Amino acid sequence: MAAAGGSEEPDGPSTEEFVYGEEDFILPGTGWEGEPGSAPSRFDRALLESWDDRMERGLFRYRLGQVPTRVLPGPLRLVAQLNVQRGTERRPPQPVCSLRQPFDPAAFNFTRLRPGELLLRLRRAASDGDRGCPGEPVPLLVAINASPLERGHVLLLPEPSRGLPQALTGPALLGGLEAALLSAHPGFRLGFNGLGGCASVNHLHLHGLYVSRPLPVEAAPAQVLCPRHRLWLLLRGVPAPAFLFYAAGSADLEAVSRDVCRAAEHITDTGLAYNVFITRGEPPEGAGARRGLRVLLWARRPSFGTKASEDFNVALCELAGHLPLPVEPLYRDITEEEALRAIRAHLLPEPELLRLGEDLARLLAG
């Protein structure tokens, strides 16, 4: 890795440039049979070593120790974690009042990060041409999330100096999908909270974090909606029904990123918010040993206004079955039934979801 250049971004010369190619993708994906993370990839080592260094240097809002974790009794085996300090010490989320709220340079945004908060600049070796052209991921700055959920919780920032609002783009998602393939840890997940879907900052970013346990969305069976565009519906065996896109390998990533963003744009056009979650997972057909990438897209009722830190907020982690909880009584007492009731209160009734799925299938097929 060489030192990064590019004075237009908020990364000084100390930000390490991580150049990768397809030879760095971990294919097929690792499973949970062995010890997760026992053989970290080059990407895992670079990210976690830099992240640990920033923790030792005191650049986070709190020192993250061992996070209490329990699996809730029940068929879905939801993973609950207690993180009191995140609930009390994180930066107050920005109020959101519109699904298409423009970027506000006067509000907090990621150009204001301290240089030490930047860890890496991810760049695909073949992407030296036009930035953001079709089929090319944009370079991603990897920064610490100063109020982390887990060790290795980071933000992936696509060209923050452009001041893009929190609306997912194909090149940004493609970069996130490629980052997922760079990790050898089966629990490295990425995600996106849209406006009205509990996004905390209206400046284009994705989350990346290492989760220590499997989640139900990795293997739940799906029903096909539009096979030519790799679109399925996860309706049963998950905390929140979702549209599922699947990439069996690196050749599928560009098409999946394009189709997910077309579907997300349509969801916004209908007045709904959305969240996205990227994880290693089983093929939707349920056959074959090779794990690819599952990309889940949730359509939901918008949540506007400022999020209350003491609430059970429903964002990408909760929708996937990973429940970060801010207070000990809630962590100790919550049941699977209570968690599902809180999650599903934000979602569409099944008939409405099925109609939306038919619309998305027609959109992609057309």
205 labelled catalytic: yes
Q: How far apart are CA 62 and CA 53, in angstroms?
A: 14
| Residue 7 exposed, middle or buried by CB count within 10 Å (0-12, 13-18, 19+) | exposed
Residue type (1 letter), 249: G
Torsion of CA 21, 27, 33, 36, to 10 degrees: 10
For every residue of the chain, which 3-state class applies, written as one string?
CEECCCCCCCCCCCCEEEEECHHHCCCCCCCCCCCCCCCCCHHHHHHHHHHHHHHHCCCCCCCCCCCCEEECCCCCCCEEEECHHHHHHCCCCCCECCCCCCCCCCCCCHHHCCHHHEEEEEEECCCCCCCCCCCCCCCEEEEECCCCCCCCCEEEEECHHHCCCCCCCHHHHHHHHHHHHHCCCCCEEEEEECCCCCCCCCCCCEEEEECCCCCHHHCCCCEEEEHHHCEEEECCCCCCCEEEEEECCHHHHHHHHHHHHHHHHHHHHCCCEEEEEEEEECCCCCCCCCCEEEEEEEEECCCCECCCCCCCCCCHHHHHCEEEECCHHHHHHCCHHHHHHHHHCCECCHHHHHHHHHHHHHHHHC
**On the CB side of 197, how many CA atoms lie within 13 Å of its CA?**
30
Q: Which of 205, 229, 322, 346 is catalytic?
A: 205
Residue type (1 letter), 272: L
Q: How far apart are CA 211 and CA 306, in angstroms?
A: 27
Q: Return the active site residues.
A: 205
